[in-house]
Structure 1
Amino acid sequence: MDTTDLKLKQCFLAVDDHDKALYFYVEVLGLEIRNDVSYAGMRWLTVGSPLQPDVEVVLEPPGASPDISEADRDALARLLAKGLLRGVIFTTENCDALHARVREAGVEVLQEPMDQPYGVRDCAFRDPAGNLLRFMERSA
């Protein structure tokens, strides 16, 4: 089987408030809206970088699957509120400038920009829902 044609299309982040998430990802980070559709009582919201037109971040409620139990959905919502669900890592050409912009928006800072021994400068924040977001700049 030839797998050279595989590419990432979507990744998923749980959010508890689509409007807060939309503001953060579009107005603060500068991503663009790809889809914002209501369907069957749900909201399909995707954002992405203009530099990566084929990759989308889906912002969905915790436990959005129709097959999940109410107890599991509640457990995921509690984990999200504690900031215990995984996040994503973005690359940037200027970690310090991005850090300043995100910090000015009042987002929770987890790590100030710092040089890492594995060849990147990075920083970390929590989005408004509590997801971990890291921003890394490759060292010269």
Structure 2
Amino acid sequence: MSSERPCCEEVIDRQAVISLLEDLDPQESRELFARLVEIYLKETPRRIKVLAEAFATGSSGEARQSAHSLKSSSAMLGIYKVAELSHQVEQFARDGALAEANAVQAALEHECDRACACLRLIRDSGFPTVNP
């Protein structure tokens, strides 16, 4: 991970996080959000690794599935740049264009690093709450 301190407002859409929290039970929103963040922090590096392995072995199906999962989890947390790049990889993989998908990999990894750094900052500074 880069030592660059990400500007979280550029990486995570605050309104998307607030909307997510508003959709959760107010009594449990903080705990559920914390769990979602921990899952994202755990699964994102694994999904990036699976993508790299899929590119190395030419497995379009694995690349597509990993990119799809990353796209969905990122969009849910308002991490739209990762979701967008994941969508590109998913489409390229669906079309069997792994060289093109692999070309997006560096940007995707960079954005995932930034997103995870932001989520760690949010986690370490206290999760947001929604006023009833």
Q: Into which bin does the TM-score normalised by the smaller protein fall?
A: under 0.3
TM-score by length of 1: 0.23
TM-score by length of 2: 0.24
More helix by percentage: 2
Larger Rg: 1
More strand by percentage: 1
